[in-house]
């Protein structure tokens, strides 16, 4: 069952990467807009130097994928690598296809941003990633959490990174491309937020279990996090414990694996916009 689920997740990641590369190569770039994040950096390098687009994009991905392997883990990095390679190959393939969307630039960019957001949603929901800025944000948040014991959202890091990208577009390319690219970001992230429930926010995992010690040990070893423990009682199951733990979206797959290893546990996941101290 787990093998089939993993295979399906990779298929969705591949489909999402194809949708994203189709949008960028055939809709966004011909209409003076670019992707955001590290893909945007690769496209800027391509426009300035004239080097092959796919090589520029994959060159910007590689350092972040390596960092993801070191700091986040093998499973996430493998999915990120698959998504990035398919996205890059998709750019190479779609660049050679004659395609023209005969409509206003604004509508074309909005439509392309929606397709891009849908593709990225498929990738993110299945534990993958094709953008190095998300890996960078996850690493920074993880380091801050480990050092301070607090939980942080990835949103500020992603915003700062993309502000730098759009400033570079504005200065190095032109203002129209910067504004069109900003529209891509707004549309794509709105679609992603709709289908992934604000993936950049903190996630609260609530676990009801009769085996708290085993779960807590696994969470400590694999995620370097702790839990809040509360005594609780079920109408049928009787006495048990409720564990509350806060993780990032990209740590959720690991948390799900931990919970699945302990039978008899029930869990829910909710989005936390802010933690007050």
Please indicate, yes or no, whether residues 53 and 95 belong to a single structural domain of this protein: yes
Tokens of 45: 């390098």
Please indicate, yes or no, whether residues 185 and 244 belong to a single structural domain of this protein: no
Q: From residue 195, give the alpha-carbon distance in Å to each of 125, 179, 207, 256.
A: 8, 25, 23, 19
Residue 140 within any structural domain of the chain:
yes
Please indicate, yes or no, whether residues 37 and 168 belong to a single structural domain of this protein: yes
Please check whether residue 200 is in contact with residue 158, taking contact to mean a CB–CB distance below 8 angstroms: yes
Host domain of residue 98: 2-196
Final residue in a domain of this structure, among 196, 218, 242: 196
Q: From residue 12, give the alpha-carbon distance in Å to each of 7, 19, 44, 122, 193.
A: 9, 10, 28, 6, 18
Q: How many structural domains comprise the chain?
A: 2
| Signed CA dihedral, 8, 86, 111, 180: sign only | positive
Please indicate, yes or no, whether residues 97 and 120 belong to a single structural domain of this protein: yes
Residue 232 within any structural domain of the chain:
yes
Please check whether residue 179 is in contact with residue 110, taking contact to mean a CB–CB distance below 8 angstroms: no
Q: What is the pLDDT along the chain (277 residues), one digit of tens a residue?
A: 566 777 888 999 999 999 999 999 999 998 888 888 899 999 999 999 989 998 999 999 999 888 888 887 777 788 888 999 999 999 999 988 887 777 777 888 899 999 999 999 999 888 888 888 888 888 888 888 777 777 777 888 888 998 999 999 999 988 888 888 889 999 998 898 888 777 777 889 999 988 888 899 998 888 888 888 888 877 776 788 899 998 887 788 888 888 888 877 888 888 887 676 6
Please indicate, yes or no, whether residues 28 and 101 belong to a single structural domain of this protein: yes
Please indicate, yes or no, whether residues 209 and 181 belong to a single structural domain of this protein: no
Residue 277 within any structural domain of the chain:
no
Residue 236 burial by CB count (10 A; 0-12/13-18/19+): exposed, middle or buried? exposed
Please indicate, yes or no, whether residues 137 and 233 belong to a single structural domain of this protein: no
Final residue in a domain of this structure, among 146, 163, 196: 196
Please indicate, yes or no, whether residues 185 and 256 belong to a single structural domain of this protein: no
Residue 207 within any structural domain of the chain:
yes
Please indicate, yes or no, whether residues 107 and 77 belong to a single structural domain of this protein: yes
Please indicate, yes or no, whether residues 188 and 250 belong to a single structural domain of this protein: no
Residue 186 within any structural domain of the chain:
yes
User: Other C-beta atoms within 10 Å of 276: how many?
Assistant: 3
HSE-up (13 A, CA, CB side) for residue 14: 6
pTM for this prediction: 0.81
Residue 93 within any structural domain of the chain:
yes
Residue 254 within any structural domain of the chain:
yes
Whole-number Å distance between alpha carbons of 253 and 101: 38
Final residue in a domain of this structure, among 176, 196, 216: 196
Beta strand 202-209 pairing with 266-272: antiparallel
Whole-number Å distance between alpha carbons of 6 and 142: 25
Please check whether residue 82 is in contact with residue 128, taking contact to mean a CB–CB distance below 8 angstroms: yes
CATH code at 226? 3.30.70.120
Please indicate, yes or no, whether residues 39 and 163 belong to a single structural domain of this protein: yes
Please indicate, yes or no, whether residues 98 and 63 belong to a single structural domain of this protein: yes
């Amino acid at each position: 069952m787990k093998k089939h689920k993993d295979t399906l997740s990779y298929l969705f990641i591949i489909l999402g990467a194809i949708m994203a590369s189709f949008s960028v190569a055939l809709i966004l770039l011909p209409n003076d807009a670019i992707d955001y994040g590290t893909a945007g950096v690769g496209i800027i390098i391509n426009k300035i130097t004239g080097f092959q687009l796919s090589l520029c994009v994959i060159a910007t991905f590689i350092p972040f994928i390596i960092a993801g392997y070191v700091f986040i883990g093998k499973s996430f990095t493998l999915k990120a690598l698959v998504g990035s390679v398919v996205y890059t190959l998709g750019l190479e393939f779609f660049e050679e296809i004659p395609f023209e969307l005969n409509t206003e630039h604004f509508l074309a960019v909005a439509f392309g941003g929606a397709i891009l957001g849908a593709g990225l949603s498929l990738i993110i929901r299945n534990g993958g990633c094709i953008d190095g800025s998300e890996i960078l944000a996850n690493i920074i948040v993880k380091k801050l959490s480990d050092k301070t014991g607090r939980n942080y959202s990835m949103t500020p890091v992603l915003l700062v990174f993309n502000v730098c990208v759009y400033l570079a577009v504005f200065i190095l390319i032109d203002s129209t491309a910067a504004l069109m690219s900003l529209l891509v970001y707004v549309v794509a992230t709105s679609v992603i937020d709709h289908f992934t429930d604000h993936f950049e926010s903190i996630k609260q995992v609530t676990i009801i279990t009769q085996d708290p010690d085993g779960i807590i040990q696994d969470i400590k070893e694999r995620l370097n996090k702790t839990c809040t423990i509360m005594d609780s009682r079920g109408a049928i199951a009787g006495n048990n414990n409720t564990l509350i733990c806060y993780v990032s979206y990209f740590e959720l797959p690991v948390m799900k694996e931990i919970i699945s290893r302990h039978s008899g546990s029930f869990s829910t996941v909710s989005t936390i916009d802010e933690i007050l101290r």
